[in-house]
Structure 1
Amino acid sequence: MTPPYNSSKPDSGITVLKIGGSAVTDKNAKAGLAKEEEMRRIFKEIATFSGKIVIVHGAGSFGHTHAKAYGLDKGFHQEGVLITHDSVRLLNEMIVKGLREENIPAVPLHPFSFSVCEDGRIKSMFVDQISLMLDHGLVPVLHGDVCMDTVRGSCILSGDQSLPYVAEALCAKRVGLGSAADGVLDADGKVIPKITPKNFDSMKMHIGGSAGTDVTGGMLGKVSEILDLAKRAGIDSSIFNANTPGNVAAYLSGKNIGTLISRD
């Protein structure tokens, strides 16, 4: 769903950065397993940025495994909702703690508490608090989460869906998605430099899913979500490898790396 308002000015200068679950967790693990060294390095690189930033992180093995086991991508399961939310909240706590250790004033935000979906898509999400946090120098940290759903009872609200919603509501200047891949890859495994509405149909047959357990659509889901953002709001996004040392800092410094997703 398109955000019903824009809470920031078009020149807000806000960056929305997604840190993929595959970049900071082992998505093949049966239970939550964090890549702690990768986390620490990424947090140090984020600390080099002095502008307004919203961080969204994926759930990785902390959420997808439980969500799949309880079928939360299809409907409501009480125990599944509790266990899945507890698991992703644990990862969020780890990430917020790590960011604060780098003197980043991170604040945890759990979408389960302020979002409602309708048949798997965002129906409403309260984001006024995010603008206020940014105005006061805080760094909001959202994550992939379970969410109540008016049709299914519950569903999985991925960071890939929250990210463009929040970016559009805040009139973000830039959106970055740090994954475990160098970008969006073609049939030969080479990075596609740019994806637009004009070339997407010819490219999407080569865009795969996730290497680990993922109930949210993998790479094709990511590209589809942010291409829609580009078409609606004219906000460019880049998908790059957050596991390559220096890439997060380079992106935050203004460099275009990986695959650019653009309206033009």
Structure 2
Amino acid sequence: MSDPSSMRAAYAGSRSRPSPAIPKHADDVFFTVASLLMLTIVFLGFASSYFLRGVALSHQPSALVHVHGLVFSSWMLLFVIQCALVSAGNLRLHRMLGVAGALIAATMVVLGILTTFATLARGLALPPALGSPASFLVGNVIEMLFFGGFVALAICKRKDRIVHKRAMLIAHAALLPPALFRMAFPVVDDPVLTFPVMVQHPALIGLIPLASILALLIFDLAMYRRVVAVTVVGGALLLAMNPLADIVAKTTLAQRLVAWAQSPR
């Protein structure tokens, strides 16, 4: 007959065993590849108006736009570098660069909102695909707040690699529409690169960021056999961004902000 104390010890030991974790190699490969794909989208989207026109030497409407381009480009490169550092096991340098990343992200939120107001202040006619000036303003502000919120979550959860990585990827998904928009609706008269698929299917502007979240869900199901809450919440909020922007754009506050931005200084 088995000793009850030994049975209790065996039961306790079985409960204390950690559950299988995601294979680290698969995790590293997925996020590194995802970061490279997002960087590629941003490069291709802004190639005609920025990257292939001399970057800092390119003709831009203002110094603010130049700073905006430089900071946002630096962030996308940093994202790829950070994913590569984790994959290589260099967590010390990853954490050091994370401090700079937090400062860059905070600067991006401010620059993104300021650049939106500056665009309206110049009084240029917006492409019809962007909707009304209020829709343009509200959509950009919500996009930047979404980005900033998920980066902040990633920083708070930096010791939880599962949540940290997913929050960062979701934050980056919110940065893709401006690049995708330029693939479908070039903002220069003679674009260096053209993307007929994007022109013929502009719905991809919204679908591709959502597809990145869907890919993350599928990856989690394949590796974890479950979905991670932050991925579900991030995908739902990303899906709700455009309908929310349409609602807010019709408010009196949004109209007043547009009027203020476009008023002569």
- Do both proteins adopt the same fold according to a TM-score greater than 0.5, normalized to the shorter chain? no
Pick the structure with greater CA Rg: 2
Question: TM-score, normalised on structure 2?
Answer: 0.30
Structure with the larger helix share? 2
